[in-house]
Structure 1
Amino acid sequence: MAQAYFVDDGSENFNEIRPTFYIGQHDSTRSETLTDLQYGQVLNTGFSFVTTPITNDHFHERILSLLNTSLSSLGDQQTTGSRPDPIVPPLTTDDTTLFPGTFTSGLVAYSSPWIDLCSPNHIISSISRQVLNLEVAYANFCGVRSIIIPGPRQDAVDAGTSQGITQYARAIQEALLIGTRVTFIVHLPMYREPGLEERAPILSLPGQHQNGGDQEPKEIDLFSSWDSWHVIRTACEYDTRLFVALRVPRALPEKELQTRWFSEPLQYLTFGPQTFQTNKTGHPSLSRHHQELIWTYMRLKNAPYFLLCDVGPELAASSGTSESINASSTVDFPSLAEAAATQTAKNGQKAQGQNEYSAYLRHVERQQEPLSVLEQGTLTNFQDWLQSPLQPLSDNLESVTYEVFEGDPVKYHQYEMAIAAALREWDEQGKPKSSPKGVVIAVAGSGRGPLVTRALRASEKTGVPVEVWAVEKNPNAYVYLLRQNQKVWGGRVTVVKTDMRAWKGPLVSSGSDNDKPVHGKVDILVSELLGSFADNELSPECLDGIQHVLAPEHGISIPSSYTAHMTPISTPRIYSDIVQRKAGGDATAFDTPWVVRLFAIDFVAQKVPDRARFQQAWEFVHPLPQSTMDAVEARRSGGVVGGGGGSMSGGVGANDHNTRHCHLTFVCRTRGVIHGLAGYFEAVLYESSNGNEKVELSTLPDMIDKKSKDMISWFPIFFPLKQPLYFPPDTELEVSMWRQTDDAKVWYEWMVEAFMWVGPSQRVKVGGSEMCSSRKVACLM
């Protein structure tokens, strides 16, 4: 019985939050819309929603008659254009039992599974397309919000031609224009596992073999179903109303295919009885692999719903319709559950218990790991949500922005460890201090002062005295820093309002009327100027500009170095969002490197010898050699003519030393599509001179837990492609990226090319993106 899954030992922590399961019921043999009482009976067995056919058997018979009549009248003249295609007549009340009503908006429509939009016969495909359009238009009129459309039963790989899939895609595109208020869900198998297809016979020529019949067993192409989906959604231009319902097989495929579907816009995970196995007590259950797949997919911000197909419950034939209920009184009108219970009592029937399949899914729901505090808010809310990169040099940030940064204790803990390690080594090695008060620490770009607090705390823990300066250009943050110095730091900090690049260093003496002020040096320069791609918020330019205040021999920078990393990804959801932004008037949507918490993505590249999944693009090190700084100053003062990209772009080339270029090769074992490049970074905050102590930060997915676990200060950066790039199996993706500057701003340019080996020594290009550039939205210096 279903109750076997409802054991409660009282140990559950009710403060824990887990993703919620919404479970629907679909009966492939149902040809009539449920009455209100039947609907209530289904809900009482543990389901949240129900599917309904749009048309019935009478309509099906009419279409079969129309098809046979059309074929007979044509005889052998079945070429396109020999005679006009037959026209499907409008629906009548005999053709449907779906009507606008109280609960219609809560039903999920299921279009006729017997139409064949992929048929090579133009009469069959034309009739099928007309049927779909009629059903979509009528469901849209009735107030249905979602329509599930059975997907193609055969992929281009198996059919040997893409004609059927392109016909299907064209039909869905047309239906989207007709059903203007409806969400469309294409029902497809995760892969073509035998037994996952629709059972209803499709429209066909007399004597024609039906798809899904007895066929010779053959090797299954795991990605062919995804290929079909990619053609459909591409033809529909990634429409935001187009989703996929995924039939989950009994034998789960390799992880590459599971993550591929994870990145797609999933609306339903559908399970038939063949997906389940029977446990020792005779109840349905899912394998551990299936449970883990469900738990992974349910971590999505827009988690999929569940649709149980052909698993009951069995419903008794209704003796009446919904019109038999007297709804004239809103006070006395019963709920669905009350109406169903009353009706079953009248009929002398025993009320049904919970469906054992839905009960099992409720059991799986309770077995999920609870959402962490961060997942309940920040991490989930920011999933795949596009944010424009900050412009810290040209804009003054608001307090709430600083507050978001300060909400990450991991980052500041790492900074405190780095400062403490630097102070200990400074003291142990007896390095000279730039102030009689102790080691001089300057926090460049102090914001609201979290790093200042950590610097003071590091001093207290190590016992090494310090003199702390807080440098901040934001006049509003400057006021807050002054208050922090009064209320929190006890006046131990000197606060300076200036752009760090204009700061002359700690003021030693103000000087007399005839003498200039005397400025000292900084021993440890601390900053948190890093961006999602390390250098995208102009950390190199800022630290170059303040380097002149560092003590020439012993001065150190925290961070001391940082590296940018990238990998190609598939992210249909984000690409669709950018398409919508551009359509809404954002002309630079595809030129912007977006900051985004990448989640519903597929890392298309595999880790192979000599080719990592995440590869380093470039590195910046601080402080720079004095020879480099001298060359920069010579260019800026006009002492050098020409030099690099900066001068060619109209500048003098003073920032050319911060330009970068990389050319990386990624290996993709399976075919797929990429929508852009994901960017990450790693930083060495401090490393002791003997190499025994090293404090690092990392946002790389495969390194963050090792170097800075649970750090959330930086989301990845996404460099979009203007058109998705499809690639075949065993492809090498070559990524070229440039960091460009003209002395006034910094921007990126990127391009991706796909190559395939066709012989031991021959490689051909199979695709490529256009050159993308963020120059229009460059970061201003």
Structure 2
Amino acid sequence: MPLGDNGDKSDSRYCGLETEFNDDMPHVLSYNINGGFDFVVAPLMEPGYRSSLVNKANRESSVPPFTGSDLVLSPAQWSSHVVGKISSWIDLDSEDDVLREDSEIALKQEIAWASHLSLQACLLPTPKGNSCANYARCVNDILQDLNNMQLWLRIPLVKSDEDDGDSVNGTSDGMVVEHTDSWELWNSFRALCEHHSQLSVALDVLSSLPSVNSLGRWFGEPLKAAIVHTDSFLTNARGYPCLSKRHQKLLSSFFYHSIQIVLSGKAVHNLPVGTSPSGSGQTNNNAQQAQRHEIRSYLDYVAYLYQNMEPLTEQERFELGYRDYLQSPLQPLMDNLEAQTYETFEKDSVKYIQYQRAVSKALVDRIPDEKASTTTAVSLLNYFLHYQEVIFCFLIFLTVAYHLETCALCNPICVLQVLMVVGAGRGPLIRASLQAAEETGRKIRVFAVEKNPNAVVTLHSLVKLEGWENTVTIISCDMRCWEAPEKADILVSELLGSFGDNELSPECLDGAQRFLKPDGISIPQSYTSFMQPVTTSKLYNDIKLHKDLLHFETAYVVKLHRLAKLSPSQAVFTFTHPNNSPNKSNQRYKKLRFDIPVETGSCIVHGFAGYFDSVLYKDVHLGIEPTTATPNMFSWFPIFFPLRSPMYVKAGSLLDFHIWRCCGNTKVWYEWCVTSPTASPIHNSNGRSYWVGL
């Protein structure tokens, strides 16, 4: 049964158990499923079977005598509750020719049998040594014709310090791996298999763990399962199994990244007699103890960790369906947004609260408190006009008008601020601006400029519905073409993309700047893009499925989830508004140098994650850069710039990345490349694959 329910319906809710070979598969399954496990990782072949030990007559038989019948379980049981475990004795890189040939025959037979059973996955044994070329070749051959079944390569979670030299590390199967960093073994194997999307990894979690940075690499890999051994558990004060703080944190990360836990091994704790597994002190009779699964207490502890995770926030629930899903960025100038897109963005209340704060501060700076009283007087006049008799209203009007004129003569002030919302959409920025005016007691007149004729229909309806006829003027026009009847005090826009400038905010606001007063305020005032190298096998394989250059030279908007961040993000391009520079070119070039920490270990770079941070006004900021991200905001997902070929980077090496923002008469595009540790091609030369239309 599932470990619990924290709002995440991913596979990490299900826990499996690694079992030994047993020809009574129905009993194995029923015992473990009734014991609380969701699936078993079970051998498919008798451990003693070797092709070379079978006589020639049997080898040529059409039914090889190495396993039982597929009829012992239903197809649904095989598919849902069994992961095949390939025989651990297999060694396809052995110097013993007979063992190598037997291994190849057994591997092909067992995977073919597993495929026949429609299993969802098979667990491959760990390579026996540093050399795994023949093993990888055989697996790669199998992958070419395999159905949808996944192959999980078993890798021990080991990374020794660099100065320790080569070490010999054991795994639960009794296999020996001579390697200082087991990630290197995995990377070598998957590179030989051409990064095949059906080849994944299952980590053996042992009693000792590598550094936090080293562990972080694995979350960008196609990690499907973590095999936790019972001898990795400690004993708590009540005598029950528990895990160290580091192991607890690691399992929580596995849960968060939708990685299944598989328990392995025998019970190694002498549990107290007569108490419940929860440690509550309640007694159990002997019959109940006898029926209980022998390692149920380990499962209960894993379930306890799962159930005590922080529940998903509302934002995380919203983002679940978008995790690691590639989306093409919006083309806001070429395309008119649909109602559903507007609807999604308008639900982000956090963004509009920040905009309202920025407009409020700008209004207060434009109209100090001592000058705001005239605005209050006009508001009071409107109140009387609405509620009093006509004659009385006329008298009040004369009185107030006299005082206003006197004040104006003595101390001329600007009572009313002109605010222009450029790219008004369906009106959320208009609403935020009017609320800011009401909150600060300032009076504004709003011009709402929108080029989408469908959104303009909605704006006109909104103005009537809200009674904004005397305050808001709708302009159906591209902001770059509109001739404003007067200059604006404040210019408000929400043209930012995931990379800040990737939806052409610089070009749009440069075009609209001509109708901003010389001392006028632009909201946002500035924005900066950021970038960092990442490992993300999921996105790389999704792009590779298209089998063309175009998709590897496109920047995608994506809610990054299964990834490893390899170095802190760095600033790329900054744009400021209003732009008073004599050279208003929006072309940019930046070289970034990233340092891959030694403690992380070697890694694979699949591409670069991009973010932005913007200053709306003074200390009011908005952004998605991880270290300064605005909490609980979901309007923007990061942007991902892929590499055509994954880049191997050694621990402690420098990674040099170059990016250009190029501008033409009809389009804007990015070009990017890596020059160190090795050179990549320049991606998207002349905007041949990906561009944003002007």
When normalised by structure 1's length, the TM-score is: 0.74
**Structure 1 pair 122/93, CA: closer, same or farther in 2 (3 Å)?**
closer
Q: Quick one: which amino acid aligns to residue 167 of structure 1? A: N
Q: Aligned match of 1:446 in 393, 409, 424? A: 424
* Partner residue, 2:560: 598
User: For 1:463-612, what aligned pairs fall within 5 Å after superposition?
Assistant: 463-491=441-469, 492-505=471-484, 519-551=485-517, 553-580=518-545, 582-583=546-547, 587-605=549-567
Cα distance in 1, alignment partners of residues 61 and 193 from structure 2: 26
**Structure 1 pair 496/115, CA: closer, same or farther in 2 (3 Å)?**
same
Secondary structure of 1:144's counterpart equals: coil
1:344-393 Cα deviation digits (max 9, x unpaired) = xxx999533572211221222221111112222x2222111111000000
Q: Aligned match of 1:295 in 248, 252, 272? A: 252
**Structure 1 pair 695/280, CA: closer, same or farther in 2 (3 Å)?**
same
Cα distance in 1, alignment partners of residues 533 and 288 from structure 2: 63
User: For 1:382-401, what aligned pairs fall within 5 Å after superposition?
Assistant: 382-401=322-341
Secondary structure of 2:319's counterpart equals: helix
Q: Is the 8 A contact 1:419 1:455 kept in 2?
A: yes
Cα distance in 1, alignment partners of residues 110 and 8 from structure 2: 40
Q: Aligned match of 2:39 in 42, 45, 49? A: 49
Q: Aligned match of 1:34 in 24, 42, 62? A: 24
Q: Aligned match of 2:125 in 136, 150, 154? A: 150
* Partner residue, 1:281: 238
Cα distance in 2, alignment partners of residues 614 and 349 from structure 1: 54
The question of 1:311 aligning with 2:266 is answered yes
Q: Quick one: which amino acid aligns to residue 462 of structure 2? A: Q
**Structure 1 pair 38/738, CA: closer, same or farther in 2 (3 Å)?**
closer
Q: Quick one: which amino acid aligns to residue 690 of structure 2? A: V
Q: Is the 8 A contact 1:88 1:131 kept in 2?
A: no
Per-residue deviation at 1:276?
0.9
Q: Quick one: which amino acid aligns to residue 266 of structure 2? A: V
Cα distance in 1, alignment partners of residues 106 and 65 from structure 2: 15
Cα distance in 2, alignment partners of residues 40 and 422 from structure 1: 69
Moved over 4 A (4+): 14-20, 87-91, 192-196, 347-350, 429-437
1:236-257 Cα deviation digits (max 9, x unpaired) = 3332222111111212211112
Cα distance in 1, alignment partners of residues 344 and 431 from structure 2: 17
Q: Is the 8 A contact 2:22 2:28 kept in 1?
A: no
User: For 1:162-561, what aligned pairs fall within 5 Å after superposition?
Assistant: 164-191=131-158, 196-199=170-173, 211=176, 221=180, 224-300=181-257, 303-311=258-266, 350-353=290-293, 355-376=296-317, 378-428=318-368, 438-491=416-469, 492-505=471-484, 519-551=485-517, 553-561=518-526
Q: Is the 8 A contact 1:678 1:717 kept in 2?
A: yes
Q: Is the 8 A contact 1:33 1:52 kept in 2?
A: no
Cα distance in 2, alignment partners of residues 674 and 17 from structure 1: 28
**Structure 1 pair 95/488, CA: closer, same or farther in 2 (3 Å)?**
same
Q: Is the 8 A contact 1:408 1:711 kept in 2?
A: yes
Cα distance in 1, alignment partners of residues 115 and 414 from structure 2: 79
Q: Percentage identity across aligned positions?
A: 35
* Partner residue, 1:97: 68
* Partner residue, 1:509: none
**Structure 1 pair 594/144, CA: closer, same or farther in 2 (3 Å)?**
same
* Partner residue, 1:325: none
1:37-78 Cα deviation digits (max 9, x unpaired) = 342122111111112212114424x54578xx9xxxxxxxxx
Q: Is the 8 A contact 2:367 2:414 kept in 1?
A: no
Q: Aligned match of 1:702 in 614, 617, 627? A: 627
**Structure 1 pair 146/435, CA: closer, same or farther in 2 (3 Å)?**
farther
Secondary structure of 2:89's counterpart equals: coil
**Structure 1 pair 549/192, CA: closer, same or farther in 2 (3 Å)?**
closer
* Partner residue, 1:658: 586
Count of aligned pairs: 617
* Partner residue, 1:643: none
* Partner residue, 2:110: 135
Q: Quick one: which amino acid aligns to residue 710 of structure 1? A: N
Q: Aligned match of 2:645 in 702, 723, 726? A: 723
Cα distance in 1, alignment partners of residues 240 and 289 from structure 2: 24
The question of 1:675 aligning with 2:606 is answered yes
Secondary structure of 2:24's counterpart equals: coil
Secondary structure of 2:551's counterpart equals: coil
Per-residue deviation at 1:312?
6.0
**Structure 1 pair 55/699, CA: closer, same or farther in 2 (3 Å)?**
same
Per-residue deviation at 1:597?
1.3
**Structure 1 pair 89/225, CA: closer, same or farther in 2 (3 Å)?**
farther
Q: Is the 8 A contact 2:255 2:306 kept in 1?
A: no
Cα distance in 2, alignment partners of residues 716 and 234 from structure 1: 27
Cα distance in 2, alignment partners of residues 541 and 403 from structure 1: 25
Per-residue deviation at 1:34?
3.5
Per-residue deviation at 1:144?
2.3
Cα distance in 1, alignment partners of residues 297 and 125 from structure 2: 26
1:135-156 Cα deviation digits (max 9, x unpaired) = 11122123322111112133x3
Cα distance in 1, alignment partners of residues 196 and 467 from structure 2: 54
Structure 2 unpaired stretches of 5+:
161-167, 269-286, 376-411
- What RMSD in Å do the two structures reach over aligned CA positions? 2.9
Cα distance in 2, alignment partners of residues 128 and 560 from structure 1: 66
Cα distance in 1, alignment partners of residues 151 and 8 from structure 2: 30
**Structure 1 pair 722/90, CA: closer, same or farther in 2 (3 Å)?**
farther
1:387-443 Cα deviation digits (max 9, x unpaired) = 100000000000110111112111111111110000001112979999976110000
**Structure 1 pair 591/723, CA: closer, same or farther in 2 (3 Å)?**
same
Per-residue deviation at 1:626?
6.8
* Partner residue, 1:649: none
Cα distance in 2, alignment partners of residues 39 and 15 from structure 1: 27
The question of 1:713 aligning with 2:635 is answered yes
Q: Quick one: which amino acid aligns to residue 571 of structure 1? A: T
* Partner residue, 1:638: none
Cα distance in 2, alignment partners of residues 38 and 730 from structure 1: 48
Per-residue deviation at 1:664?
1.3
Per-residue deviation at 1:497?
0.4
Q: Is the 8 A contact 2:315 2:634 kept in 1?
A: no
Cα distance in 2, alignment partners of residues 167 and 667 from structure 1: 34
Q: Is the 8 A contact 1:136 1:178 kept in 2?
A: no
**Structure 1 pair 305/130, CA: closer, same or farther in 2 (3 Å)?**
same
Secondary structure of 1:554's counterpart equals: strand
